[in-house]
């Protein structure tokens, strides 16, 4: 896989040594057990896969290259390039300005731009309408387009099934940048509608079977369907694609639900299923799939707590939190500064959308066992900082250097 030129301050000597060792030990990526960092009284189990993915590293490389290649020019990002506060703050310090916030709210109007300006398209991609506006301004939308190739793969898949006469059902979060972009590209070729979860999928299914009157569709799916969408006609043939960072099990369950519904409703067989349901392979990105599978592997460990690191608005990170919460007390933090002491931690609650202060998060036992992972947009340096912060609480921070050497030697011996 391509190696990207990512600033060294996002790297981590410890994490790099661990990943190199695990890669040498497990070239086919079949072992999803965590890596044990044994500090004695503190044991940290690090997920097999976590951190920067291909699309994120690609986006970061392009963004820093844009700054280097365009001294003196105004450089803008359409919105957050990735969902990590530290990376976005670093881009701001480089002089890059945001045109929109993460929800699409305008910060700097597009009509204030000129053809001399540089605009970065984020890793999530953008809508066709915004691309068109930029082109009309004479702004290049290709050279500094950081759209993840796996997001573009979903667009291509939607285009393929659209040409075969299917409508597109997108499993995604309606307010997320990637879903907005995927919806725009899908709707350009076929009728499209978004479902956020199984509850909405079932509601949409009731329009397919006639259990719901079509007159209620516009209100039920307000803001989630393409222009001139006709549920009576456009739900007869469908294909499912997803926002690449959703839970794989959720997307599969939704696809299975629609497939079985179509089989029952239209009395289909294996030979006739294609008349009403597109045979789409899963469109989840490889990194999201690996990270989720690695968390499942990590959760087989008899641990005390889990810590998940990433931006609060990161979809892929939030799903890692959800997986951990099913089995363990889980703390979702953005960086090491949220570990206030051995007794207190500041963390984000996905359900209330607020930060909370928890006391006594580390049990009084020996050893304390912690599961640790991070989202696809979180720098490895932050993960090492968290390991450092936790090790300080137990007075064992000097062992980090020994662990780096240990894993480097093991990688060579493999």
Mean pLDDT for the chain overall:
94
Catalytic residue list: 178
Give the pLDDT score at 1. 63
Rounded to 10 degrees, what is the CA torsion of 199, 204, 210, 215?
Answer: 110
With 70 as the cut, is the pLDDT of residue 13 above it? yes
Q: Does residue 385 sit within a domain? A: yes
What is the CA angle 16-22-26, rounded to 5? 145
Domain tally, the chain? 3
pLDDT, tens digit (0-9, with 9 covering 90-100), for 102-120: 888 999 999 999 999 999 9
CATH of the domain at 173: 3.40.1010
Q: Are residues 239 and 188 in the same domain?
A: yes
Contact 46, 35 (CB under 8 A): yes
In which domain, by residue range, is 231 found? Answer: 149-275
Q: Tell me the average pLDDT across 131-149.
A: 95
Q: Tell me the average pLDDT across 194-216.
A: 97
Q: Are residues 293 and 347 in the same domain?
A: yes
Q: Does residue 143 sit within a domain? A: no
Q: Does residue 307 sit within a domain? A: yes
Q: Which of 358, 354, 300 is nearest to 329 (CA)?
A: 358
Of 136, 170, 185, which residue is a domain's last?
136
Q: Does residue 393 sit within a domain? A: yes
Q: Are residues 82 and 181 in the same domain?
A: no
Q: Are residues 164 and 244 in the same domain?
A: yes
Give the pLDDT score at 375. 95
What's the sign of the alpha-carbon dihedral 377, 379, 384, 387?
Answer: negative
With 80 as the cut, is the pLDDT of residue 285 above it? no
CATH of the domain at 35: 3.40.1010.20
Question: How many angstroms separate the CA atoms of 288 and 305, rounded?
Answer: 22
Of 80, 105, 136, which residue is a domain's last?
136
Q: Which two tokens stand for residue 242?
A: 């997803």
Contact 55, 150 (CB under 8 A): yes
Q: Are residues 309 and 381 in the same domain?
A: yes
Q: Are residues 114 and 124 in the same domain?
A: yes
Q: Are residues 318 and 393 in the same domain?
A: yes
Q: Tell me the average pLDDT across 157-164.
A: 95
Q: Are residues 37 and 58 in the same domain?
A: no
Q: Are residues 340 and 306 in the same domain?
A: yes
At what angle are helices 399-413 and 13-25 packed, to 10 degrees? 30
Q: Tell me the average pLDDT across 49-75.
A: 95
Q: Are residues 76 and 131 in the same domain?
A: yes
Q: Are residues 32 and 65 in the same domain?
A: no
Give the pLDDT score at 2. 76
Question: How many angstroms separate the CA atoms of 248 and 75, rounded?
Answer: 36
Of 102, 136, 170, which residue is a domain's last?
136
Q: Write the secondary structure of the chain as one string of H (helix), E (strand) and C (coil).
A: CCCCCCCHHHCCHHHHHHHHHHHHHCCCCCCCCCEEEECCCEEEEECCCCCCCHHHHHHHHHHHHHHHHCCCCCEEECCCCCCCHHHHHHHHHCCCEECECCCCCECCCHHHCCCCCEEEECCCCCCHHHHHHHHHCCCCCCCCECCCHHHHHHHHHHHHHHHCCCEEEEECCCCCHHHHHHHHHHHCCCCEEEECCHHHHHHHHHHHHCCCCHHHHHHHCCCCECCCCCHHHHCCCEEEEECCCCCHHHHHHHHHHHHHHHHHHHCCCCCCHHHCECCCCCCCCHHHHHHHHHHHHHCCCCCCEEEEECCCCCHHHHHHHHHHHCCCCEEEECCHHHECCCCEEEEEECCCCEEEEEECCCCCCCCEEEEEEECCCCCHHHHHHHHHHHHHHCCCCCHHHHHHHHHHHHHHHC
CATH of the domain at 61: 3.40.50.11270
To the question of pTM greater than 0.95 for the whole model, the response is no
Residue 75 — very low, low, confident or very high, per pLDDT cuts 50/70/90?
very high
Q: Tell me the average pLDDT across 249-255.
A: 90
pLDDT, tens digit (0-9, with 9 covering 90-100), for 317-349: 999 999 999 999 999 999 999 999 999 999 999
Q: Does residue 3 sit within a domain? A: no
CA distances from residue 97 to 61, 76, 107, 131, 277 in whole angstroms, order as listed: 17, 5, 9, 18, 44
Q: Does residue 372 sit within a domain? A: yes
Q: Does residue 354 sit within a domain? A: yes
With 70 as the cut, is the pLDDT of residue 282 above it? no
Q: Which two tokens stand for residue 185?
A: 């590209």
Q: Are residues 120 and 158 in the same domain?
A: no
Q: Does residue 333 sit within a domain? A: yes
């Amino acid at each position: 896989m391509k190696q990207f030129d990512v600033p060294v301050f996002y790297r981590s000597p410890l994490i790099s040594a661990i990943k190199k060792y695990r890669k040498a030990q497990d070239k086919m990526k079949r072992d999803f057990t965590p890596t044990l960092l044994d500090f004695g009284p503190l044991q940290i189990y690090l997920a097999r896969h976590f951190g920067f993915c291909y699309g994120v590293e690609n986006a970061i490389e392009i963004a820093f290259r844009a700054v280097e290649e365009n001294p003196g020019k105004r450089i803008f990002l359409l919105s957050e390039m990735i969902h990590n506060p530290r990376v976005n703050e670093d881009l701001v310090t480089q002089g890059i300005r945001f045109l929109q916030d993460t929800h699409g709210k305008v910060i700097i109007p597009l009509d204030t731009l000129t053809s001399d300006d540089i605009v970065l398209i984020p890793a999530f991609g953008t809508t066709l309408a915004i691309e068109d506006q930029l082109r009309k301004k004479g702004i290049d939308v290709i050279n500094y387009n950081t759209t993840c190739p796996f997001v573009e793969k979903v667009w291509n898949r939607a285009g393929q099934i659209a040409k075969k006469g299917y409508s597109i059902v997108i499993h995604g979060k309606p307010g997320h940048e990637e879903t907005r972009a995927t919806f725009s590209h899908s709707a350009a070729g076929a009728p499209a509608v978004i479902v956020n979860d199984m509850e909405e999928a079932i509601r949409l299914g009731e329009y397919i079977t006639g259990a719901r009157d079509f007159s209620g569709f516009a209100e039920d799916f307000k803001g989630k369907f393409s222009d001139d969408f006709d549920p009576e006609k456009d739900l007869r043939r469908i294909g499912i694609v997803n926002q690449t960072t959703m839970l794989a099990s959720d997307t599969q369950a939704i696809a299975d639900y629609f497939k079985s519904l179509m089989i029952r409703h239209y009395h289909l067989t294996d030979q006739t299923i294609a008349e009403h349901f597109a045979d789409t392979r899963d469109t989840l990105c490889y990194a999201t799939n690996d990270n989720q599978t690695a968390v499942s592997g990590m959760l087989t460990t008899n641990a005390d707590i889990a810590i998940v690191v990433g931006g609060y608005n990161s979809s892929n990170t939030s799903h890692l939190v959800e997986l951990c919460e099913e089995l363990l007390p889980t703390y979702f933090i953005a960086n090491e500064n949220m570990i206030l002491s051995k007794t207190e931690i500041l963390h984000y609650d996905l359900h209330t959308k607020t930060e909370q202060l928890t006391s006594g998060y580390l049990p009084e036992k020996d050893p304390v066992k912690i599961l640790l992972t991070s989202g696809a947009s979180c720098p490895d340096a932050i993960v090492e900082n968290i390991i450092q912060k936790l090790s300080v609480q137990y007075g064992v921070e000097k062992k980090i250097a020994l662990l780096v050497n240990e894993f480097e030697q093991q990688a060579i011996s493999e």
